[in-house]
Amino acid sequence: MAKMLTPVVRSTLSSAAFEQLTSFIVNGQWKSGDRIPPERDLSAELGIARTSLREALKAMEFVGMLESRVGDGTFVCPRSEFLAKPMLWAFTGTDPEELQDVVESRALLEVDLAGLAAARASQAEIDEIGETIELMRSETTKGRSIFEADMKFHLVIASAAHNEVLSHAVQLLRNMLRHWIYLKLQLPEVPGQVIQEHVAIFEAIRNRDSVAARASMLHHLEQTSKFVGQVTPHHDGAGSARSN
């Protein structure tokens, strides 16, 4: 394992540390499940005090990138966890107009990614996409949630587009919407429809038809957009009695 930790030099030490450590995770030097060095070692290597390092570390923990256990160490969380927690608090009881920006961004990016995936996906990746659909079917018959399978479907497409920047971006956006996607999939008639739409997207990609892939992805995501719009009609001052 090559350690290439360089002393930080930036605006504030803790934000520099935050950026550097974040990049370690984002670009895969630290993979999910890895244990990162102890705080005392890390601070020494970075050339900053433990307090400063901890500000960065805790921030990453609150955001879902890391998990710390006393006496054990600090570990990298799977990317699917990123932002899931804090954004939930931030959005609950939030003006839907602002949320709409995220929903729209997500949709546009995923449409672009679908188009790229149709052009670039390897056979293995196409197979993997198909498997997520099978998974959804089996989960449905077992009466279980298709949430995880749905997530996987979209992430596989994102990575099949072979553009790291965009696929990372879309993963973040997706995590922000985690809560709403989950809610939507709880509705009784939704899973069947979702599977149908996934099939359409899948076939377009398999046929290397970028235009169709984009169109079917757009159609698919418009459903979710509509749903988010419905579920978050207004925020009243206090209780937010959300019917679910």
Binding site for DNA (CB under 7 A): 10, 12-14, 36, 38-41, 47-52, 54-55, 57-58, 68-74
Would you say 55 or 150 has its CB closer to DNA?
55
- 215 is a site residue for a second copy (CB under 8 A): no
Among a second copy, DNA, none, what binds residue 91 when CB lies within 5 to 8 Å by partner kind? a second copy
Closest contact distance (angstroms) between CB of 111 and DNA is: 38
Q: Of 53, 33, 44, 59, whose CA–CA distance to 3 is shortest? A: 44
Site for a second copy (CB under 8 A): which residue of 5, 44, 58, 215?
Answer: 58
Burial of 180 (0-12, 13-18, 19+ CB in 10 A): buried
What's the rounded Cα separation, in Å, for the pair 212 and 200?
Answer: 9
Q: Give the dihedral of Cα atoms 14, 15, 18, 24; nearest 10 deg.
A: -120
Query: Could you tell me how many residues make up the chain?
Result: 244
CB atoms within 10 A of CB 76: 20
Spatial CB neighbours of 50, under 8 Å, sequence gap ≥ 6: 39, 40, 43
For residues 9-28, which are near a second copy according to CB under 8 A? 14-15, 18-19, 22-27
SS3 state at 233: coil
Closest contact distance (angstroms) between CB of 213 and a second copy is: 14
Q: How many CA atoms lie within 13 A of 240 on its CB side?
A: 10
Residue reference for tokens 């803790």:
14
What's the rounded Cα separation, in Å, for the pair 105 and 195?
Answer: 23
Cα-to-chain-centroid distance, residue 150: 12
- 140 is a site residue for a second copy (CB under 8 A): no
Closest contact distance (angstroms) between CB of 28 and a second copy is: 9
Q: Which stretch binds a second copy (CB under 8 A): 56-64, 126-134, 187-195, 222-230?
A: 56-64
Site for a second copy (CB under 8 A): which residue of 16, 36, 65, 201?
Answer: 65
What's the rounded Cα separation, in Å, for the pair 120 and 187?
Answer: 34
Closest contact distance (angstroms) between CB of 242 and a second copy is: 7
- 112 is a site residue for a second copy (CB under 8 A): yes
Would you say 50 or 120 has its CB closer to DNA?
50
Site for a second copy (CB under 8 A): which residue of 39, 163, 199, 200?
Answer: 163
Q: Which stretches of the chain bind a second copy, using CB under 8 A?
A: 14-15, 18-19, 22-27, 51, 54-56, 58-59, 61-63, 65, 79-80, 82-83, 86-87, 89-95, 98, 101-102, 104-105, 108-109, 112, 119-120, 162-166, 168-169, 171-173, 176, 240, 242, 244
